[in-house]
Each structure stands twice: as structure tokens, then as C-alpha cells.
């Protein structure tokens, strides 16, 4: 009892709404780090294990919100957050609200407006790791919006993972989140499509992995080299000294035709080829491949 009291004095009480796989990982970590935790979930039975570890289960979202100076929300999306929080809005007035579900920048801005109208101190966030990594070294959480709220909550936020504050624009956390997921899915699709291509000749993924992931990706694609070229993207500088877009277009044509010949899905390389063709049509054929960045910055032309 004495230990619990001293822990309560040291760690900010936190309320958490949402006990899906991610919410559960957040809750387990907060309890483990000694935060007095109040939880609410649509399906209350999920809280059983947490209550056994000392968390308090509230009967309503409003009751949960009233228990702590800060409420973390980890529900499916912003629509769900609004649905759950609307009846708890009065209890939230004057308190901090940190949203950790995924979404879009426009939804983050709408959440700021909703909070502002109700006197709620809002911070937007995004979780960049899967549930088992929460609280572990290497876990990064993104935040944007009110710097005051971020700094005030640094202790509980740091207990969840390395908190990166991206700026006052509240849309930045989810924007970075979607951008990195964009990169993740594109990379995964590259690996899966390439594996299907060699698989069409009976090569098992396990054999291809050794060369493709063990050597090609780190050595030829080389993320460190991409980072060194980032200033060129900012400057719009694409010298075609070592490779040109014309040459890369040839390679993209080969990937598309090989996919068709081997009887596998060919939309993915065809789209990459069409993008490079458009860049060439814009007069960028003599620039290097990174010049497709100029196309990606513009909305897709619609016929
Ligand atoms: N899981 C991951 O690997 C991961 C990684 C990074 C970010 N995220 C983000 O974290 C957020 C939560 O994800 P999650 O994995 O925990 O699972 P999820 O399935 O996206 O969210 C489940 C949570 O939302 C609640 N919920 C859904 N619809 C509801 C409704 N109509 N009314 C009230 N509550 C509702 C669920 O309640 P019930 O328990 O009652 O169904 C549960 O608490 C998402 O935005 C996700 O994109 C997840």
C-alpha cells in the first residue's frame, strides 16, 4: 500500500479509452510503469487482466475521463473517437486529450476544432510500432499540435516510447504516419511482386530472399545513399550522370513484359512504367530516376 501511494505521487494518473490490440499494449505498459490507470472499452470484459494488475475499469467513457488529468484515446479511427467522446465532452473540459488512432491530417484538424469548441486541450499522435514493441527500446510515437500539452505530458508519453514532437501543425503526426506506411506497403509490394516473378519459374521465396533481401536491397538500393540524396529532392536537382530516366524506363518495360510473359500480375510494374513515361513526356528523360518525385508532388491528372 505504501509503495502504491509513492508510485501514485510519482506518476501522472492516465485514462485510456480503447482496448484493442494497441490499446491493450498501451495499458499494460502504463500499468507496468506505475501510472494509476483508468480504462474504458466498449467490450468491458477485455479489461479483466488489467484490473487484476491494478487498473480501474470505468463504466462509461465520461466516468473514465473524469478520473485523470489526461485521456489517451486508441480506438479504430477518428469517427469512433468522436462517437465515444461526444457524451464525455463535459467531463473532458479543461483536461488533456491525446489521440493515438490512425487517420488523415484533415481528421486531425477536425479533432482540434472539436476539442477547441469544448475547452479540451488536444494533442494529436500516431503509433509507429506494432503492439509488442510499445514501451520497448526503438518504439517511436509521433506527436503534433500543442507543444504545451506535449511538454506537460512528457513523462507518460516517454513511458510508451520515444516521443517525437513534429510541430504545431496538428496534422503532422498522422501525415508522417501515413507517409511511412506508404513507404512500408510500397516496399512490401516490391518484395512480394519480385518474389512472385521468380516464383513463376519455381524459385522458392526462401531461396530468393538470400540474394534479394540479404544482398540486393542493402547494397544496391541502399537506404543510406537515399538519405544522402535527400537534399537533391529538396533542390529539384536530378543530374543524369550515372543513370537517366530513359534508361530506367527501359528496365520498367522489361519488368512489365516479363511479368506478362510469366503469367503473373502486371499492374504494379505497368503503373511504375506509366509514371516514368509521364516524367519523360515532361522532358525529364535525361535526368536521373529521382526526377519522378516531381510527378509525385502533383495531383494525379484525371482524363
Ligand atoms: N495494431 C497495430 O499494429 C497498430 C499499429 C499502429 C497503430 N495502430 C492504430 O491504433 C488504433 C487502434 O488499433 P487496434 O489495433 O487497437 O485495433 P482496432 O480494431 O483498430 O481498434 C479497436 C478498438 O476500437 C474500439 N471500437 C471499434 N469500433 C467501436 C465503436 N463503434 N464504438 C466504440 N468502440 C469501438 C474497440 O472496442 P471493442 O474492443 O469493444 O471492439 C477497440 O477498443 C487504430 O487506429 C490503428 O490504426 C494499430
Calpha distance 275→121 (Å, rounded):
43
Q: Report the separation in Å between the CA atom of 73 and the middle of ligand 1, taken as the mean of its atom positions.
A: 10
Per-residue model confidence as pLDDT tens digits over 81-120: 999 999 999 999 999 999 999 999 999 999 999 999 999 9
Task: Give, using CA atoms, the residue closest to atom 29 of ligand 1.
Answer: 80
Q: Does residue 302 lie in a domain region?
A: no
Whether 37 and 181 share a structural domain: no
Q: Does residue 301 lie in a domain region?
A: no
Whether 245 and 227 share a structural domain: yes
pLDDT, position 3? 35
What is the count of structural domains for the chain? 2
Q: Report the separation in Å between the CA atom of 237 and the middle of ligand 1, taken as the mean of its atom positions.
A: 42
Task: Give, using CA atoms, the residue closest to atom 34 of ligand 1.
Answer: 42
Q: Does residue 238 lie in a domain region?
A: yes
| Among the listed residues 58, 115, 66, the one whose alpha carbon sits nearest the alpha carbon of residue 86 | 115
Task: Give, using CA atoms, the residue closest to atom 31 of ligand 1.
Answer: 80
Q: Which atom of ligand 1 is nearest to the CA of 18?
A: 43
Q: Report the separation in Å between the CA atom of 190 and the middle of ligand 1, taken as the mean of its atom positions.
A: 28
Last-in-domain residue among 168, 191, 221 = 168
Whether 69 and 214 share a structural domain: no
| Three-class DSSP labels, the chain | CHHHHHHHHHCCCEEEECCCHHHHHHHHHHHHCCCCEEEECCCHHHHHHHHHCCCEECCCHHHHHHCCCEEEECCCCHHHHHHHHHHHHHHHCCCEEEECCCCCHHHHHHHHHHHHHCCCEEEEEEECCCHHHCCCCCCEEEEEECHHHHHHCHHHHHHHCEEEECCCCCCHHHHHHHHHHHHHHHHHHHHHHHHHHHHCCCCCHHHHHHHHHHHHHHHHHCHHHHHHHHHHHHHCCCCCCCCCHHHHHHHHHHHHHHHHHCCCCCHHHHHHHHHHHHHHHHHHCCCCHHHHHHHHCCCCCCC
Task: Give, using CA atoms, the residue closest to atom 22 of ligand 1.
Answer: 20
Low-confidence ranges of the chain (pLDDT < 50): 1-8
Last-in-domain residue among 152, 168, 184 = 168
Q: Which atom of ligand 1 is nearest to the CA of 17?
A: 43
Question: Which of 22, 25, 62, 84 has the most ligand 1 atoms within 8 A of CB, as the residue to mutate?
Answer: 22
Whether 228 and 99 share a structural domain: no
Q: Does residue 65 lie in a domain region?
A: yes
Whether 233 and 289 share a structural domain: yes
Which three cell numbers, joined as nine digits, stand for 259?
511479368
46, 24 Cβ separation under 8 angstroms: yes
Whether 150 and 180 share a structural domain: no
Whether 126 and 44 share a structural domain: yes
Q: What Cα–Cα distance (Å) separates residue 247 from each residue in 71, 242, 277?
A: 54, 10, 11
Calpha distance 221→3 (Å, rounded):
53
62, 91 Cβ separation under 8 angstroms: yes
What's the CATH code of the domain at 95? 3.40.50.720
Q: Report the separation in Å between the CA atom of 164 and the middle of ligand 1, taken as the mean of its atom positions.
A: 22
Q: Does residue 303 lie in a domain region?
A: no
Q: Which atom of ligand 1 is nearest to the CA of 83?
A: 32
Tell me which residues have their CB closer than 6 angstroms to ligand 1: 18-23, 41-43, 46, 74-77, 80, 83-84, 101-102, 127, 130-131
Q: Does residue 114 lie in a domain region?
A: yes
Last-in-domain residue among 103, 133, 168 = 168
Q: Report the separation in Å between the CA atom of 183 and the middle of ligand 1, taken as the mean of its atom positions.
A: 22
Calpha distance 47→134 (Å, rounded):
18
Whether 43 and 161 share a structural domain: yes
Q: Which atom of ligand 1 is nearest to the CA of 75?
A: 24
Which three cell numbers, joined as nine digits, stand for 239?
543530374
Task: Give, using CA atoms, the residue closest to atom 33 of ligand 1.
Answer: 42
Q: Which range of residues forms the domain containing residue 274?
A: 176-296
Calpha distance 274→178 (Å, rounded):
24
Task: Give, using CA atoms, the residue closest to atom 17 of ligand 1.
Answer: 20
234, 290 Cβ separation under 8 angstroms: no
Whether 226 and 139 share a structural domain: no
Q: Does residue 260 lie in a domain region?
A: yes
Instruction: Please state the pTM of the whole predicted model.
Output: 0.92
Whether 238 and 146 share a structural domain: no
Whether 128 and 239 share a structural domain: no
Whether 240 and 284 share a structural domain: yes
Contacts (Cβ under 8 Å, ≥6 apart) of 266 = 256, 259, 260
Residue 7 CB neighbour total at 10 angstroms? 14
Q: Does residue 268 lie in a domain region?
A: yes
Contacts (Cβ under 8 Å, ≥6 apart) of 260 = 266
| Among the listed residues 145, 92, 81, 144, the one whose alpha carbon sits nearest the alpha carbon of residue 118 | 92
What's the CATH code of the domain at 193? 1.10.1040.10
Amino acid at each position: 500500500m505504501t509503495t502504491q501511494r509513492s508510485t501514485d505521487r510519482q506518476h501522472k494518473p492516465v485514462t485510456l479509452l480503447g482496448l484493442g490490440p494497441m490499446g491493450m499494449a498501451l495499458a499494460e505498459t502504463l500499468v507496468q510503469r506505475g501510472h494509476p490507470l483508468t480504462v474504458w472499452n466498449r467490450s468491458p470484459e477485455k479489461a479483466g487482466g488489467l484490473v487484476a494488475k491494478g487498473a480501474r475499469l470505468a463504466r462509461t467513457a465520461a466516468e473514465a475521463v473524469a478520473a485523470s488529468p489526461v485521456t489517451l484515446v486508441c480506438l479504430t479511427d477518428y469517427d469512433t473517437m468522436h462517437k465515444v467522446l461526444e457524451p464525455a465532452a463535459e467531463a473532458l473540459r479543461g483536461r488533456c486529450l491525446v489521440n493515438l488512432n490512425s487517420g488523415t491530417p484533415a481528421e486531425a484538424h477536425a479533432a482540434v476544432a472539436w476539442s477547441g469548441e469544448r475547452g479540451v486541450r488536444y494533442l494529436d499522435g500516431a503509433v509507429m510500432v506494432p503492439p509488442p514493441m510499445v514501451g520497448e527500446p526503438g518504439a517511436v510515437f509521433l506527436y503534433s499540435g500543442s507543444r504545451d500539452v506535449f511538454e506537460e505530458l512528457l513523462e507518460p508519453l516517454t513511458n510508451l516510447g520515444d516521443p517525437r514532437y513534429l510541430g504545431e501543425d496538428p496534422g503532422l503526426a498522422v501525415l508522417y504516419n501515413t507517409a511511412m506506411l506508404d513507404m512500408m506497403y510500397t516496399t512490401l509490394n516490391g518484395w512480394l511482386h519480385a518474389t512472385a516473378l521468380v516464383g513463376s519459374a519455381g524459385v522458392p521465396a526462401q531461396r530468393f530472399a538470400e540474394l534479394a533481401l540479404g544482398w540486393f536491397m542493402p547494397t544496391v538500393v541502399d537506404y543510406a545513399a537515399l538519405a544522402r540524396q535527400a537534399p537533391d529532392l529538396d533542390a529539384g536537382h536530378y543530374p543524369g550522370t550515372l543513370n537517366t530516366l530513359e534508361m530506367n524506363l527501359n528496365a520498367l518495360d522489361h519488368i512489365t513484359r516479363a511479368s506478362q510473359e510469366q503469367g503473373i500480375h502486371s499492374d504494379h510494374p505497368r503503373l511504375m512504367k506509366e509514371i516514368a513515361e509521364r516524367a519523360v513526356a515532361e522532358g525529364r528523360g535525361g535526368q536521373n530516376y529521382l526526377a519522378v518525385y516531381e510527378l509525385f508532388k502533383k495531383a494525379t491528372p484525371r482524363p
